[in-house]
Amino acid sequence: MDTSAEQELPVSLDQKDYEILKLLQEDAKQTIREIAGKVHLSPTPTHERIKRLEKTGVIKQYAAILDHQKINKGIMVICQISLVQHNRKAAGEFLHAVLQFEEVVECYNISGDFDFMIKIVVESMESYHYFCVNRLGEVPGIAQTKSIFVMASLKQTHRLL
């Protein structure tokens, strides 16, 4: 049930590209000049490499990782969802609805007993209950859900290198 865009072939990367990517993952606010010095290139080719990595989609976006507790989003829930029907149309309708919910911060198509896994971050148990009943519960085609409450976030990163 591939509901994502067609998978693209990997982009050809060399060691300097990987070094730049690692540095950007550690701190995306570094200047081109700082990165260039660390990878032993001049700023112009470093800038060109970063632009190529952005254009080819290797770098999807730049983001700040927030502490959800400090912004009053104290409840994190992993919700596993199975659909009534297993076809492209049902999956598409489900995704169209769920991807609009600001409470949903991640969504995965998974294998096993469930079809999707979503990560939800909300203010309180009451707000999660409201979300389940009045938002997620209104999405057609859901057969079953299973909520797993995160008690502590022990590692949170987007680093791949």
Tokens of 61: 């976006």
If asked whether residues 47 and 99 sit together in one domain, one would say: no
> Does 139 lie in the same domain as 93?
yes
Is 83 a domain residue?
A: yes
CATH value at residue 117: 3.30.70.920
Structural domain includes residue 123: yes
Q: Do 144 and 100 belong to one domain? A: yes
What is the mean pLDDT of each successive set of 10 residues along the chain, which is 161 residues long?
Answer: 54 96 96 98 98 96 90 96 94 96 97 97 97 96 97 88 89
Q: What's the total number of domains in the chain?
A: 2
The total of other beta-carbon atoms located within 10 Å of residue 117's CB is 17
**Domain of 105, in residue numbers:** 75-149
- Tell me, yes or no, whether 45 and 85 share the same domain: no
pLDDT of residue 5: 45
pLDDT of residue 10: 84
The values of phi and psi at residue 108, to 5°, are: -130, 140
pLDDT at position 2 is: 45
Same domain, 96 and 35: no
pLDDT at 7: 54
Query: Domain for residue 156, yes or no?
Result: no
> Are 68 and 75 in contact, with CB atoms under 8 Å apart?
no
- CATH number (domain holding residue 26): 1.10.10.10
Q: Residue 30 CA to chain centroid, in angstroms?
A: 23
Phi, psi values for residue 16, rounded to 5°: -65, -40
Q: Which two tokens stand for residue 104?
A: 């949903």
CA 90, 117, 159, 121 torsion-angle sign: positive
